[in-house]
Amino acid sequence: MLNKKTVEDINVNGKKVLVRCDFNVPLNDKFEITDESRIEGALPTIKYLLKNNAKVILCSHLGRPKGEAKKEFSLAPVAKRLDEILDTKVIFAADDEVVGTNAKEATNNMENGEIVLLENTRYRKEEKKNGEEFAKELASLADIYVNDAFGTAHRAHASTEGITKFMDESVSGYLIQKEIRFLGNAVETPKRPFVAILGGAKVSDKIAVIENLLDKVDSILIGGGMAYTFLKAQGYTIGTSLVEEDRLDYALEMIEQAKVKNVNFVLPVDHIVGAEFSKDTEPIKTEDQNIKDGYMGLDIGPKTADLFKDIIKDAKTIIWNGPMGVFEFENFANGTISVASEMANTDAITIIGGGDSATAVNTLGFGDKMSHISTGGGASLVFLEGKELPGIMALDNK
Ligand code: AMP
């Protein structure tokens, strides 16, 4: 288990503290924020620092401006919203250079308990290249660095990893701590039975996750587009369903390994299929695992949903990543809804690994029924692969 210093382990009183947040919020065409959960996720750390008299400098990326200052990717809407939410005035350092004249001026003359938000770190090409110069410039603004951006912790960028080389103290914020606690405890010391539910489009995206989890879980339930590669590998017919032909051997190997490791590897036993990939295609239930020519599997069927329910009901720890079908189409959302509602109903530790499953759980209104919804889809997958996250590894140990 990672044992990284947190904001509570250091003295922040009167110090300039640069916090790397994840303010990568969705905006509409009027530049209004359409989902504030990432801003809310950053508040505990910001409030702690304000309460303890720090001078708080915030930074983040937003979208993909590709190393150029583009107005549509400005963090100005985030500054405005933060200013409304917090009792403290938020000064926005509008600065195309991110750390240019404006940012230096704004951060030079700060009082304790003040907040400055820098402009989008990805306005600078060096951000994604982990360029030393930009990392040094960012570091020069503050005495202490705090990383609280779990969503980008799997990337070694200038503001997530490079900067730590030029700071005396680099610690984690509350959001990263929470992610490490839930994901780390679940994977390292799970209450059993420990069940992983994996779905989504591709097997290839989840290979490393399956391999790592096979050593840890009691059951793996597979749904979504990735299930058909496993079914085809076993000789079932899959019609025109998604398949990765180059992963068929791998799929058999995984099923074999699951047997050796005594892991219950559960594939769909029926499906909801359609003639085409469209929201209007007629949903048809299959009798069993097989799918007829001309049809594609777009959701797990009701027998599979019941089978999954029974396993979820008895579990003590459940991790879910990836929808069970094309949940964006109403007719093919039932499998995903069923898993979400069963997870919401258990007393088990329930963890949603970000991305599409987090969207599904939140839009269905089950968000507050889960123990933890990760704020980083990509980062949580890397975590579940058992790999190190550079943005966390670079922080000081306790
Ligand atoms: P991922 O990003 O790999 O988690 O995949 C999520 C996407 O997989 C969602 O947009 C789903 O619509 C899609 N998906 C899930 N099940 C299927 C399926 N049976 N066929 C095609 N796409 C699917």
Do 201 and 335 share a domain, yes or no?
yes
* Mutation to probe ligand 1, out of 326, 334, 384 (largest number of atoms < 8 A from CB): 326
Cis peptide before 193 (omega within 30 of 0): yes
Do 203 and 300 share a domain, yes or no?
yes
Do 154 and 231 share a domain, yes or no?
no
245-268 pLDDT, tens digit each: 999 999 999 999 999 999 999 999
pLDDT at 121: 98
Q: Report residue 209's pLDDT band, with 50, 70 and 90 as the boundaries.
A: very high
Q: Which ligand 1 atom sits nearest the alpha carbon of residue 321? A: 4
Q: Which residue has the tokens 């985030």?
A: 78
Q: Please say if the pLDDT value at position 1 is more than 60.
A: no
For ligand 1, say whether the CB of 205 is within 6 Å of any of its atoms.
yes
Instruction: Look up residue 118 and give its two tokens.
Output: 């820098």
Question: From CA 370, how far away is CA 61, in angstroms rounded?
Answer: 28
Q: Please say if the pLDDT value at position 375 is more than 90.
A: no
> Is 389 a member of any domain?
no
Number of separate domains in the chain: 2
pLDDT at 263: 98
294 is catalytic: no
pLDDT at 356: 85
Mean pLDDT in residue range 73-99: 97
- Domain stops at, among 122, 151, 175: 175
Do 122 and 197 share a domain, yes or no?
no
Cβ-contact 296, 224 below 8 angstroms: no
CA–centroid distance, residue 201 to ligand 1 (Å)? 4
Do 154 and 188 share a domain, yes or no?
no
Mean pLDDT in residue range 390-395: 97
| Angle between the N-to-C axes of helices 37-51 and 76-85, in degrees from 0 to 180, rounded to the nearest 10 | 60
CA–centroid distance, residue 94 to ligand 1 (Å)? 39
38 is catalytic: yes
Residue 118, C-beta contacts closer than 8 angstroms, at least 6 positions apart: 57, 58, 59, 75, 93, 95, 98, 99, 103, 141
- Domain stops at, among 175, 201, 217: 175
Q: Please say if the pLDDT value at position 19 is more than 90.
A: yes
- Domain stops at, among 175, 209, 239: 175
Do 221 and 318 share a domain, yes or no?
yes
Question: From CA 134, how far away is CA 136, in angstroms rounded?
Answer: 5
Q: Please say if the pLDDT value at position 35 is more than 90.
A: no
Q: Which residue has the tokens 């094309």?
A: 326
pLDDT at 338: 96
Question: From CA 149, how far away is CA 152, in angstroms rounded?
Answer: 6
51-82 pLDDT, tens digit each: 999 999 999 999 999 999 999 999 999 999 99
Cβ-contact 145, 164 below 8 angstroms: yes
CA–centroid distance, residue 141 to ligand 1 (Å)? 43
The Cα-based distances of 201 to 50, 107, 241, 322, 372 in angstroms read 43, 45, 11, 8, 23
Q: Do β-strands 284-285 and 271-274 pair in parallel, antiparallel, or remain unpaired?
A: antiparallel
> Is 394 a member of any domain?
no
Do 215 and 136 share a domain, yes or no?
no
List b or e across 208-246, with b for residues whose CB sees 16 or more CB atoms inside 10 angstroms: ebbebbbebbbbbbbbbbbbbbbbbbeeeebbbbbbbee
For ligand 1, say whether the CB of 297 is within 6 Å of any of its atoms.
yes
14 is catalytic: no
Q: Please say if the pLDDT value at position 226 is more than 80.
A: yes
Do 160 and 243 share a domain, yes or no?
no
Three-class DSSP labels, 69-104: CCHHHCCHHHHHHHHHHCCCCEEEECCCCCCCHHHH
Could you tell me the CATH number of the domain that includes residue 87?
Answer: 3.40.50.1260
For ligand 1, say whether the CB of 393 is within 6 Å of any of its atoms.
no
Q: Which residue has the tokens 């306790």?
A: 398
The whole domain housing 264 covers 182-384
Cβ-contact 50, 115 below 8 angstroms: yes
> Is 83 a member of any domain?
yes
Report the share of the chain in percent with pLDDT over 70. Answer: 100
Q: Which of 22-31, 112-121, 353-362 has the lowest mean pLDDT?
A: 353-362
263-314 pLDDT, tens digit each: 999 999 999 999 999 999 999 999 999 999 999 999 999 999 999 999 999 9
Mean pLDDT in residue range 79-88: 96
Do 42 and 150 share a domain, yes or no?
yes
Q: Which residue has the higher pLDDT, 93 or 109?
A: 93
67 is catalytic: no
For ligand 1, say whether the CB of 325 is within 6 Å of any of its atoms.
yes
Question: From CA 287, how far away is CA 191, in angstroms rounded?
Answer: 35
Do 214 and 327 share a domain, yes or no?
yes
Q: Please say if the pLDDT value at position 161 is more than 70.
A: yes
Report the share of the chain in percent with pLDDT over 90. Answer: 91
Q: Which of 32-36, 57-61, 90-94, 352-356 has the lowest mean pLDDT?
A: 352-356
pLDDT at 143: 98
Q: Please say if the pLDDT value at position 2 is more than 80.
A: no
Do 218 and 337 share a domain, yes or no?
yes
* CA nearest ligand 1 atom 6, residue: 200
**164: how many CB neighbours lie within 10 A of its CB?**
21
Do 197 and 317 share a domain, yes or no?
yes
Instruction: Look up residue 89 and give its two tokens.
Output: 């005035």
The pLDDT mean for the chain works out to 96
* Mutation to probe ligand 1, out of 356, 361, 374 (largest number of atoms < 8 A from CB): 356
For ligand 1, say whether the CB of 354 is within 6 Å of any of its atoms.
no
List 202, 303, 316, 369, catalytic entry? 202
> Is 396 a member of any domain?
no
Helix (H) or strand (E) holding 335: helix 334-345
